[in-house]
């Protein structure tokens, strides 16, 4: 081997040895870092990785039909102070000393949780301790308070000199208080999802999509950097009119309190569109006896009592089983039908037409008429009711709404009780939907609570009026039923919602003509059966009778000190009808003449 070749081999050996030693050193360092220095470097790594934080989307608003806020997410703010910022400690803390008094005074004046002296002592002590995150105010402040505080001389200098910074939190509020509160619904916590009412039904639209930010070290400071903008929730526009809601709620509350009832429910629906302009639910608290919105009785089914008589008669009339002028006898004594005794609240020995039987709301008359018509064919009765559209599966924006329960009776005895509203269950909204169809010339429309979903005032989705049934019965039957419902209010001898000789008018009004039906049902007490002393009373009607614009139902549970559906519920609907006509500018009747409201 030549000298030149030996030199080449040596050089190669040296290079290989250096590389091998370097490789061993790297491996050794890796092992050392992974074992001895592992904890130290993991801590460093944690400080270097940007902290990611979601940016909450602002929940959309729920609006009434005129754009007024029924529910909204309003910004509120926590006030914090980083007392360590260098600017506050420069020149022996001159900036802090010169401004602490004015800051304390402004906090006491604008926020008012503490005196100026207490604020000064609190901030000064934190300044001396070098607190990084002093909570200046105990509670959140609103936007106007923040604006006022930002005029303070120290805070104006910005967070990097004053150390003062604001963290926003959105709080769900209802500007109108309890107005339609149960229907609007609520949310879990401050920024959670909807848990009831429209908040729950339209939670996906209202919630929006959260964004994302990260805390990164920029220019020697930790800064929040937005990675993805939040997409705020959409707005839900309801059919509710806040002014009409106020009218309905006040009328219902006054009557429910007057009668010391367990609960009350009242709704106002636009006849042609199905728009629910007002929906009120009032419950008496067992704790303090006061009334609140606790349950949405509007969509909870109950035994409807005599309001079901109209449905039963419509079935028999439309099937040709009876005619409106047919007669039926009633007596003061109960009428025994197999094992059941049927009684009337208005006892009399007389002969009634079908029309007057509905006006006076005779249980005996209805039981006789329906059992004669459908004895041995009770299934046909239920099928006829189904054809009216009442039992169709109708979508409701309120979660948990009950469906109609009208089962095919196993015997004619049950059918006899069904004829006047027992052994069947409907919600107040379903009862109102049926009577609204009568007012709407037989066309049944779905009650609606939401008209559109909007973004920045523009429709994203719009909901149209839905027809459940184009005609619930023949024109002849409809005409007959309307005449009977007229007599309920305007026949002063028989009508259950006409007049009371001692207490005055019930649903009769000099300003607007109302037609409708009263309903009374004994309450079922578990373990005791039906109580003759506890009742559920109802009036459902439409107005103006000549050209219906609205349908209204009032239902009151367990009034104390007697009961009269016409006097209590009928008068409540009358008050609502008169005020609604005045508010909407529809025509009213005065001294038998049509008069335009000149608001």
CA angle 304, 306, 310 (to 5 degrees): 100
The per-residue pLDDT for range 104-126, each reduced to its tens digit, is 999 999 999 999 999 999 999 99
Would you say 308 and 390 are in contact if contact means Cβ atoms under 8 Å apart?
no
Q: Domain 242-596 classified CATH 3.40.50.300?
A: no
Cα(255)–Cα(461) distance, integer angstroms: 39
Cα(569)–Cα(554) distance, integer angstroms: 5
Nearest Cα residue to 428 out of 297, 249, 558:
297
The pLDDT score that the predictor gives to residue 597 is 46
- Determine the average pLDDT of the residues in 546-563: 95
The alpha carbon of 372 is separated from its chain's Cα centroid by a whole number of angstroms, namely 44
The per-residue pLDDT for range 63-96, each reduced to its tens digit, is 999 999 999 888 888 999 999 989 899 988 899 9
The per-residue pLDDT for range 178-211, each reduced to its tens digit, is 788 889 998 887 667 888 999 999 999 999 888 8
Buried b (16+ CB within 10 A) or exposed e, 499-521: beeeeebbbbbebbbbbbbbbbb
Confidence bin at 42 (pLDDT 50/70/90)? low
Four-residue CA torsion sign, 529, 532, 536, 538? positive
Ramachandran angles phi, psi of 363, nearest 5°: -65, -40
The per-residue pLDDT for range 316-325, each reduced to its tens digit, is 999 999 999 9
The per-residue pLDDT for range 415-468, each reduced to its tens digit, is 999 999 999 999 999 999 999 999 999 999 999 999 999 998 999 999 999 999
The pLDDT score that the predictor gives to residue 599 is 34
The pLDDT score that the predictor gives to residue 219 is 53
Nearest Cα residue to 266 out of 201, 180, 196:
180
Token pair recorded at residue 400:
């948990």
Residue 496 contacts by C-beta under 8 Å, 6 or more apart in sequence?
A: 346, 359, 360, 361, 488, 506, 518, 565, 566
Cα(293)–Cα(177) distance, integer angstroms: 11
The pLDDT score that the predictor gives to residue 174 is 85
Nearest Cα residue to 477 out of 452, 512, 441:
441
> How many Cβ atoms sit within 10 Å of the Cβ of residue 271?
22
Peptide bond just before 544 cis, omega within 30 deg = yes
Cα(357)–Cα(353) distance, integer angstroms: 6
Asked whether residue 598 carries a pLDDT value surpassing 50, the answer given is no
Q: Which helix (H) or strand (E) holds 235?
A: strand 235-238
Would you say 548 and 580 are in contact if contact means Cβ atoms under 8 Å apart?
no
> How many Cβ atoms sit within 10 Å of the Cβ of residue 560?
11
Token pair recorded at residue 106:
């402004």
Asked whether residue 596 carries a pLDDT value surpassing 60, the answer given is no
Rounded to 10°, the helix 378-387/308-318 angle is 100
Residue 12 contacts by C-beta under 8 Å, 6 or more apart in sequence?
A: none
The pLDDT score that the predictor gives to residue 224 is 66
| Region of poorest pLDDT, from 129-143, 360-374, 527-541 | 129-143
Percent of the chain with pLDDT over 70: 91
User: Both ends of the chain: CA-CA distance in Å?
Assistant: 122
Cα(244)–Cα(179) distance, integer angstroms: 10
Cα(596)–Cα(599) distance, integer angstroms: 9
The pLDDT score that the predictor gives to residue 467 is 96
Four-residue CA torsion sign, 295, 298, 301, 303? positive
The DSSP 8-state label assigned to residue 234 in this structure reads: P
In whole angstroms, how far apart are CA 494 and each of 313, 352, 485, 540, 574? 18, 10, 12, 17, 19
CATH number of the 74-173 domain: 3.30.70
Nearest Cα residue to 267 out of 597, 569, 590, 496:
569
Rounded to 10°, the helix 571-584/242-258 angle is 160
Would you say 559 and 535 are in contact if contact means Cβ atoms under 8 Å apart?
yes
> How many Cβ atoms sit within 10 Å of the Cβ of residue 178?
16
Residue 109 contacts by C-beta under 8 Å, 6 or more apart in sequence?
A: none
SS3 3: helix
The per-residue pLDDT for range 373-419, each reduced to its tens digit, is 998 899 999 999 999 999 888 899 999 999 999 999 988 899 999 99
Percent of the chain with pLDDT over 90: 63
- Determine the average pLDDT of the residues in 240-263: 96
> Within the chain, how many helices (H) and strands (E) appear?
19, 27
Q: What is the largest CA-CA distance in the chain?
A: 144
Would you say 291 and 282 are in contact if contact means Cβ atoms under 8 Å apart?
yes
The per-residue pLDDT for range 337-363, each reduced to its tens digit, is 998 999 998 889 999 999 999 999 999
Cα(262)–Cα(278) distance, integer angstroms: 21
The per-residue pLDDT for range 506-531, each reduced to its tens digit, is 999 989 999 999 999 999 998 888 99
């Amino acid at each position: 081997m030549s000298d030149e070749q030996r030199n080449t081999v040596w050089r190669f050996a040296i290079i290989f040895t250096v590389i091998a030693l370097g490789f061993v050193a790297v491996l050794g360092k890796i092992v050392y870092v992974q074992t001895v220095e592992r904890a130290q470097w993991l801590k460093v790594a944690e400080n270097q990785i940007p902290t990611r934080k979601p940016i909450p989307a602002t929940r959309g608003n729920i609006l009434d039909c005129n754009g007024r806020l029924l529910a909204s997410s309003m910004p509120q703010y926590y006030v914090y102070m980083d007392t360590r910022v260098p600017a506050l400690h420069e020149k022996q803390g001159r900036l802090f000393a010169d401004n602490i008094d004015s800051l304390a005074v402004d906090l006491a004046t604008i926020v008012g949780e503490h005196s100026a002296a207490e604020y000064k002592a609190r901030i000064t002590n934190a300044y001396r301790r070098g607190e990084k995150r002093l909570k200046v105010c105990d509670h959140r402040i609103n936007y106007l308070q923040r604006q006022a505080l930002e005029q303070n001389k120290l805070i104006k200098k910005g967070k990097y000199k004053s150390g003062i910074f604001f963290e926003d939190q959105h709080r769900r509020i209802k500007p109108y208080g309890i107005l339609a509160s149960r229907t609007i619904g609520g949310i879990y916590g401050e920024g959670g999802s909807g848990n009831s009412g429209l908040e729950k039904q339209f939670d996906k639209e209202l919630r929006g999509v959260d964004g994302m930010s990260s805390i990164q070290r920029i220019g020697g400071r930790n800064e929040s950097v937005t990675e993805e903008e939040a997409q705020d929730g959409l707005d839900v526009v309801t059919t509710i009119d806040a002014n009409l809601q106020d009218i309905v709620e006040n009328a219902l509350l006054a009557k429910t309190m007057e009668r010391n009832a367990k609960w009350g429910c009242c709704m106002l629906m636009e006849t042609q569109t199905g728009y629910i302009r007002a929906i009120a639910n009032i419950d008496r608290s067992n704790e303090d006896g006061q009334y609140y919105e606790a349950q949405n009785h509007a969509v909870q089914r109950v035994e409807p009592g005599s309001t079901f008589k109209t449905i039963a008669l419509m079935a028999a009339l439309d099937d040709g089983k009876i005619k409106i002028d047919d007669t039926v006898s009633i007596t003061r004594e109960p009428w025994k039908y197999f094992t059941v005794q049927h009684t009337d609240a208005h006892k009399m020995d007389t002969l009634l037409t079908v029309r007057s039987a509905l006006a006076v709301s005779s249980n005996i008359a209805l039981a006789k008429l329906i059992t004669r018509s459908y004895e041995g064919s009770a299934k046909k009765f239920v099928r006829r009711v189904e054809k009216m559209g009442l039992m169709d599966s109708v979508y409701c924006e309120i979660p948990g709404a009950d469906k109609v329960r009208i089962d095919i009776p196993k015997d004619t005895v049950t059918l006899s009780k069904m004829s006047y509203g027992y052994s069947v269950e409907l919600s107040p909204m379903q009862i109102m939907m049926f009577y609204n169809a009568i007012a709407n010339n037989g066309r049944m429309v779905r009650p609606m609570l939401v008209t559109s979903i909007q973004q920045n005032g523009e429709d994203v989705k719009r909901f149209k009026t839905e027809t459940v049934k184009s005609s619930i019965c023949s024109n002849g039957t409809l005409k007959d039923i309307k005449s009977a419902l007229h007599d309920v209010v305007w026949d002063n001898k028989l009508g259950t919602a006409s007049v009371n000789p001692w207490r005055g008018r019930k649903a009769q009004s000099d300003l607007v003509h109302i037609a409708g039906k009263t309903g009374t049902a004994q309450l079922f007490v578990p373990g005791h059966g039906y109580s003759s002393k506890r009742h559920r009373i109802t009036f459902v009607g439409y107005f103006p009778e000549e050209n219906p614009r609205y349908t209204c139902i009032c239902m009151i549970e367990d009034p104390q000190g007697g009961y009269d559906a016409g006097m209590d519920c009928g008068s409540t609907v009358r008050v609502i009808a008169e005020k609604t006509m005045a508010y909407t500018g529809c025509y009213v009747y005065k001294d038998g003449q049509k008069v335009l409201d000149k608001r």
